[in-house]
Amino acid sequence: MLNLSGKVALVTGSTRGIGRATAERLAQAGATVIITGRSEDRAVEVAKEIKEKTGSETFAVSMDIGVKESVEEAFKRISERFGSVDILVNNAGMTRDTLFLRMKLEDWEEVIRVNLTGTFLVTQQAIKGMIKKRWGRVINMSSVVAFMGNVGQANYSSAKAGLIGFTKTLAKELASRNITVNAIAPGFIETDMTDVLPDDIKESYLKQIPAGRFGKPEDVANVVLFLASDLSSYITGEVIHVNGGLF
């Protein structure tokens, strides 16, 4: 049931971190995986590495999820090659942290544009094919901060909270087409995104995590695999927290 042979999976922002681990996990399960990032060269490199490691087919395409034309161009290439996508993992995301009083409109707009509007743009392209095929999986990467809030992340926590409403609404609109739409809310996962945080901040997070460790990208990738598989076919509009007990 965790065999994804014959399925085409697109993971946004899959050249590193959680996205890369997810792409690899889906490829291990037999899916054809489309690696995307803003740099085509990097996507090609990662696609090659994952193919060598897993034996599954991979395809690389550059896509800036925050730019409509870039998303449309990428989907043109994807549909020429594969027709459509069966599994969409909306993973790409970014932060621009600063205290709210100092937050510039650009900091707000950029984070909303990429994390929230980007997910809208990619999903709208991807679900057309799923609707035709009457099978699909959409998995959105939210965050624990959508539920807890976080100092310095008014923009990011708003975007990630927006993804929860988006997930629940799409789940209702698409359930009758046999498409499930779920979200994952990771806690503190060790990637480049969290690597930049000062050590004292990391230590204070660690104290709040009952499991006593930070998460690894694979901890999230495993949940994506479950949500992409037939094992989860009666779960939709749900949020799965992956945070070692933090929330």
Ligand X SMILES: NC(=O)c1ccc[n+]([C@@H]2O[C@H](COP(=O)([O-])OP(=O)(O)OC[C@H]3O[C@@H](n4cnc5c(N)ncnc54)[C@H](O)[C@@H]3O)[C@@H](O)[C@H]2O)c1
Residue 139, token pair as written in the block: 């998995």
Q: Is 183 in the site for ligand X (CB under 6 A)?
A: no
| Minimum separation from the CB atom of position 94 to ligand X (A) | 4
Please state, in angstroms and as integers, the Cα–Cα distance from residue 173 to each residue in 38, 47, 238, following that order.
30, 33, 14
Whether residue 234 lies in the annotated active site: no
* Residue closer to ligand X, measured from CB, 110 or 175: 110
Q: Is 91 in the site for ligand X (CB under 6 A)?
A: yes
How far is 42 from 13, CA to CA, in rounded Å?
11
Among 17, 129, 136, 162, binds ligand X (CB under 6 A): 17
SS (H, E, C) 72-108: HHHHHHHHHHHCCCCEEEECCCCCCCCCHHHCCHHHH
Of the residues 75, 156, 188, 214, which is catalytic? Answer: 156
* Residue closer to ligand X, measured from CB, 19 or 136: 19
Residue found by looking up tokens 């550059």 in the block: 62
Positions 30 through 89 that interact with ligand X (CB under 6 A): 37-38, 63-66
Interaction pattern, residues 115-134, with ligand X; x per rule: CB under 6 A = ---x----------------
Asked if 192 and 17 touch (Cβ cutoff 8 Å), the reply is yes
Indicate the pairing of strand 239-242 with strand 87-90: unpaired
Give the residue numbers marked as catalytic: 156
Binding site for ligand X (CB under 6 A): 12-13, 15-19, 37-38, 63-66, 91-94, 114, 118, 141, 143, 186, 188-189, 191-194
